[in-house]
Structure 1
Amino acid sequence: MSATPVVALVLLALIWGRSLPPVMVLLVGVVLIAAVLVAVHHAEVVALRVGEPLGSLILAVAVTVIEVGLVLSLMASGGPEAATLARDTVFAAVMITLNGIVGLCLVVGALRHGVVSFNAEGSSGSLATVTALATLCLVLPTVTTSSPGSTFTGPQLAFAAIVSLALYAVYVFVQTVRHRDYFLPVGPDGITPEDAHEAPPTARTALLSLALLVISLVAVVGLAKSASPAIEAGVRAAGAPLAVVGVAIALLVLLPETLAALRAAARNRLQTSFNLAMGSSLASIGLTIPAIAVATIWLPGPLVLGLGPTQMILLALSVVVGILTVVAGRATVLQGAVHLLIFASFLFIAVTP
């Protein structure tokens, strides 16, 4: 695993500035996925060393750097058609987390354990924060009138970025300091036990992981930029809308969190699964939107953030179903199936709008 960042960096040096044949595009894709997984792993090692709440911030920032790097690489080379890529990626992340990850975890947990339990207080608070951020950053641009199209004016975008950061900071504080017990797994008897903490790595191990994390992030952003022309050409050749690229980015970035959430669900620790899912959604909005907002200073063209009518309906449906799922603190396989069907509808509409 330690060799992956170095291999990715060497590959980046070999292909930089060159037109890639199909075989090389496939190789870059494989190495890119491996580098993303390794980057998140090393971020987790560093997070375990420094403790909370700084550890959660390091992990979220690492994942956000990957997401922002992929989005900016494609936006910089995609022309006017890429103006909606940031919106499509963030919206895809919300739908994947609220429906895909939550649905899979509920199904896996309920099939193994019958009825699964979680903290309604922590889960409902997370969902409320996701709803507020998604509405502010993805719905309001569609209905504001100060700028044409589904865009914010400069001051509006700055305000949305500041509010996003503020809400995310409050969420991290509540989850890790003020009301940490609301986010602990619920036991079979209804008691919330403390998580068993792994022994923190040594300072040397943490420093090595930090160096490999930086190398991985550089490699991910560079490889994504090199492969972006081939990715866009493939999407156009398939006749699919560019929004599919945003879905692919979100799926790639959220893969490690999805696997970790499923492992927790299999152990009947649904609250941990919900923390990972909704925490990833919050980081995707609360950190990515401000980063993209700053990047628009150098990017040409407008930043389209507002959702279309179909996307807003799917978002509203996800929020309503999510509220009904978390309010009781208990769920069965039925709730998981409903979330998965909403997620399947999102994927189908993304490909055939």
Structure 2
Amino acid sequence: MTPGTRRRPLPAALTWTTAVPVLALVVLAASWGRDLPTAVVVLVAVVLIGAVLAAVHHAEVVAHRVGEPYGSLVLAVAVTIIEVALIVTLMVSGGDDTAALARDTVFAAVMITANGIVGLSLLLGALRHGIVSFNAEGTGAALATVTTLAVLSLVLPTFTEAESGPQFSPSQLAFAAVASLVLYGAFVLTQTVRHRDFFLPVAEDGVALEEDSHADPPSSRAALTSLGLLLVALVAVVGLAKVESPAIEDAVAAAGAPQSFVGVVIALLVLLPETLAAAKAARRNRLQNSLNLAFGSAMASIGLTIPAIALAMIWLDGPLVLGLEPTQMVLLAVTVVTGVLTVVPGRATRLQGAVHLALLASFVFLAVNP
């Protein structure tokens, strides 16, 4: 290359963000349903991490094209759809031993999003920018919706009397499923149509910002390509997580943790793309984008997963345990109270981030050592 010349960018087909999702699908097809040696398990884990990073990239491309708050919905809904497929697959293969898998996975997703993603975003944003600002009206509405969905689907089954144990009767489950869909639909309508400005990033003076000013949005063709590759990457992430699940189960058993912790590990893995995307937005002082991702993911995890599982129970045999245990209900209650105190001012410091991360650490610790 002669002095003064510029290196041409690689064609899209040669970039790692394009190649890794395709490679992950190939690895998934080659490893599915097979007993893998340790070296191959490690290789699958590396490819899995690459697929997660690729998913983050393509989600950001799509989000930048469609703008907020629509962009935050893309990754939340896509991950939730794949999460439902993973839960149903494990329930089919696990029988009665997986009766509480949906509850454990959904509750883990709520704790990871409402404490982990929120806390990490607040901490990273405050460390770089001092005090971070967000729209309290939109974020408060999202937190209220998440709280209602969580109580309706995960707390009430513990106290109902139609079925023995923390379960809904068929009619109660149908009601919870319909109510969850209605609430989620109402929130999406509010977020994207009626009060879209409540969910846009805000400047220090509280004025809503429409778009990032530092870069032009990608073309429609690039956004559609990224959307397709995002779906491919997410399918690969969940599929490879399923391939890795026996190794995860063995590791959990070797550590002496309860088997329910497998759902926590899988939820952590599935939510990693959203976590990385939210962290990046927070470092760019776009905390509202991070909160949209966090609470939108929690909402979709309940509002879409519970109805889908309820529908799947028509064909699945065995019980469906949804009611939380006492320790889990305490953690949920503290998370809601802390979330309200964080959201109401519309401004936060690194202290609020540390508090939410402490709650996440408590959840993980108690999941390992109940």
TM-score where L is the length of structure 1: 0.90
Asked if 1:312 corresponds to 2:317, the answer is no
Query: Which residue of 1 is the match for residue 33 of structure 2?
Result: 17
Query: Which residue of 2 is the match for residue 118 of structure 1?
Result: 134
Q: Which amino acid aligns with 2:240?
A: L
- Match for 1:275 among 292, 299, 302? 292
1:162 CA displacement: 1.5
1:140 CA displacement: 0.8
Asked if 1:251 corresponds to 2:268, the answer is yes
Whether the 8 Å CA contact 1:39–1:212 is kept in 2: the answer is yes
1:253-284 deviations in Å (ceiling 9; x for gaps): 22222222222222333222211111111111
Whether the 8 Å CA contact 1:80–1:301 is kept in 2: the answer is yes
1:177-223 deviations in Å (ceiling 9; x for gaps): 11111112221223222223765544543444454345444434443
Q: Residue 206 of structure 2 aligns to a residue in which SS?
A: coil
Distance between the aligned counterparts of 1:267 and 1:39, measured in 2?
A: 19
TM-score where L is the length of structure 2: 0.86
Whether the 8 Å CA contact 2:84–2:309 is kept in 1: the answer is yes
Over 3 Å counting, the alpha-carbon distance change for 1:107 and 1:349 in structure 2 is: same
Q: Residue 328 of structure 1 aligns to a residue in which SS?
A: coil
Q: Which amino acid aligns with 2:362?
A: S
Q: Residue 268 of structure 2 aligns to a residue in which SS?
A: helix
Over 3 Å counting, the alpha-carbon distance change for 1:41 and 1:350 in structure 2 is: same
- Give 1 or 2 for the bigger CA radius of gyration: 2
Distance between the aligned counterparts of 1:89 and 1:17, measured in 2?
A: 23
Distance between the aligned counterparts of 2:87 and 2:186, measured in 1?
A: 26
Q: Residue 99 of structure 2 aligns to a residue in which SS?
A: helix
Greater alpha carbon shift after TM alignment, 4-13 vs 201-210: 201-210
Over 3 Å counting, the alpha-carbon distance change for 1:292 and 1:332 in structure 2 is: same
Q: Residue 271 of structure 2 aligns to a residue in which SS?
A: helix
Whether the 8 Å CA contact 2:69–2:292 is kept in 1: the answer is no
Q: Which amino acid aligns with 2:263?
A: G
Distance between the aligned counterparts of 1:110 and 1:203, measured in 2?
A: 34
Distance between the aligned counterparts of 1:67 and 1:105, measured in 2?
A: 23
Asked if 1:135 corresponds to 2:151, the answer is yes
Distance between the aligned counterparts of 2:225 and 2:311, measured in 1?
A: 30
Query: Which residue of 2 is the match for residue 93 of structure 1?
Result: 109
Whether the 8 Å CA contact 1:81–1:242 is kept in 2: the answer is no
Greater alpha carbon shift after TM alignment, 302-311 vs 54-63: 54-63
Distance between the aligned counterparts of 1:191 and 1:57, measured in 2?
A: 22
Aligned residues: 353
Over 3 Å counting, the alpha-carbon distance change for 1:292 and 1:207 in structure 2 is: same
Identity %: 69
Q: Which amino acid aligns with 1:62?
A: A
Query: Which residue of 2 is the match for residue 261 of structure 1?
Result: 278
Whether the 8 Å CA contact 2:79–2:234 is kept in 1: the answer is no
- Match for 1:34 among 46, 50, 56? 50
Query: Which residue of 1 is the match for residue 85 of structure 2?
Result: 69
User: What RMSD, in angstroms, separates the aligned Cα atoms of the two structures?
Assistant: 2.4
Whether the 8 Å CA contact 2:52–2:237 is kept in 1: the answer is yes
